[in-house]
Structure formats: C-alpha cells, structure tokens
C-alpha cells in the first residue's frame, strides 16, 4: 500500500453486541486512527458500535464524517455532533460515497448491513474497481465463520486464491494500520483463474 492515507471507512454494527470486547475494540480502533491523524468515515448513526467509534474519535480530537440515508436521519438515528454529516437519498448512494471518501476499509462486528458492506466492497475489489485495503478485526472470532466460508469457496472453485486474499483479518484493532500499510494484493484478472491463482 503506497498511496497516502487520509480517511478510513469503518463498517460496524448499529448494536453494541453482547461481548464487551466488541465495544472495547471499536474504541481502540478509533483511538488508533485519530492518533495517526486519520479521519473516520462511517455510516453516520448515533447507536451501537457506530456511536462508539464516532464518539471515541471525536473525544480524542479526531475528524469524523458520517454518511446516512435521509430515512434513517428522519428517525433520529443520525449522529448530529459529527465533524461532517452527509445525507444521501439511498443506501446505494451511502455506500458509493463512503467508498469514494475512503482510502481503506475496516470491518468490525455487526449484523446483516455490516456483512453486506464488507462483501460488496470486496466484490468491487474483485472486479478491479479499486485496490483499497480491506481489513477485518476478528474480535472474539466474530469473522471466523465468514472467513471459513470464503475458504470453502476457494476449495469448491467459486473464488480464486488471489481474490480470497483481498480480505485480511487481524485479531486486534492495534494491528489494523500495520495491515493496511502492508496491504499489497493484486486481484485476479478474471473472477476465477485456475485452482492456484
């Protein structure tokens, strides 16, 4: 990863989850990003792990940009204390703008929305639409079932080894920035090359 980092997009849950480590790692990640002078980009909500990331970054003097669809804003879920809160018309616009703003993507634990965001941004990488790092923080083994499923996709011939490598997993938020800086993954020219590429 040679390009300069300015903004990191964080995908995470709108709930806090049942394990205290989830929130602790969310706060740890935000602290690490701010300490490195990086702006946080996220989904703009004032709930769950999303709130933990935003509030921690702001409390440490960081910049936080939230991107939220108008429908969620009207339900009073939006975090109105952010450096920058951008309203968009749809979930599709939200993901597109977050993609455009960010230099890398980090996935913390979350539900269907978080899983979908991680899957879509990785698919865009597979299609050659970007070469931005994608790192999952595998707190309490949260992402292991998904990573195992991706490995199964490789074994069964649905995913190339090179495209499987588009997602990097680390155990702690403290490993995220080193993983981003070391990221050097070249997607396959085809969605599926051979058994070994």
Question: pLDDT (tens digit, 9 = 90+) per residue, 52-106?
Answer: 999 999 999 999 999 999 887 666 589 999 999 999 999 999 999 999 999 999 9
The answer to whether residue 173 sits within a structural domain is: yes
Question: Has residue 190 been placed in a domain?
Answer: no
Residue 119 sits in which domain range? 7-182
What pLDDT digit, counting tens, does each position of 117-172 carry? 999 999 999 999 999 999 999 999 999 999 999 999 999 999 999 999 999 999 99
Q: What is the mean pLDDT of residues 163-185?
A: 96
Q: Considering the domain boundaries, does residue 130 fall inside one?
A: yes
- Residue 192's pLDDT band, with cuts at 50, 70 and 90, is low
Residue 120 is assigned to a structural domain of this protein: yes
The reply to whether 116 falls in a domain is: yes
Q: What is the pLDDT of residue 194?
A: 52
Instruction: Look at residue 8 and tell me whether its pLDDT is greater than 50.
Output: yes
- CATH code for the domain in which residue 123 is found: 3.40.50.450
DSSP SS3 for 99:
helix
pLDDT band at residue 196, thresholds of 50, 70 and 90?
very low
Inside any domain, residue 194: no
Q: How far apart are CA 143 and CA 176, in angstroms?
A: 15
d(CA 197, CA 194): 5
Q: Give the confidence band of 187 by pLDDT, cuts at 50, 70, 90.
A: confident
Whether 176 shows a pLDDT value over 80: the answer reads: yes
Distances (CA, A) of 190 to 42, 50, 51, 163, 165: 31, 35, 39, 9, 14
> Is the distance from CB of 69 to CB of 94 less than 8 angstroms?
yes
Specify the pLDDT at position 104. Answer: 98
Number of compact structural domains in the chain = 1
């Amino acid at each position: 990863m040679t390009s300069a980092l300015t903004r990191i997009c964080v995908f995470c849950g709108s709930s806090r989850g049942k394990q205290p480590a989830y929130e602790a790692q969310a706060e740890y990640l935000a602290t690490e990003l701010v300490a490195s002078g990086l702006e946080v980009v996220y989904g703009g909500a004032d709930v769950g792990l999303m709130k933990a990331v935003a509030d921690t970054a702001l409390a440490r003097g960081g910049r936080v940009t939230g991107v939220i669809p108008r429908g969620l804003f009207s339900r009073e879920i939006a975090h109105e204390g952010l450096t920058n809160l951008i309203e968009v018309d749809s979930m599709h616009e939200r993901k597109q703008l977050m993609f455009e703003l960010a230099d890398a993507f980090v996935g913390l634990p979350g539900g269907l929305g978080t899983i979908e965001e991680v899957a879509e941004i990785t698919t865009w990488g597979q299609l050659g639409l970007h070469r931005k790092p994608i790192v999952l923080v595998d707190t309490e083994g949260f992402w292991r079932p998904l990573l195992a499923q991706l490995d199964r996709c490789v074994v069964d011939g649905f995913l190339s080894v090179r495209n499987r490598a588009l997602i990097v997993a680390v155990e702690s938020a403290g490993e995220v920035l080193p993983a981003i800086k070391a990221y050097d993954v070249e997607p396959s020219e085809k969605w599926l090359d051979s058994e070994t590429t």
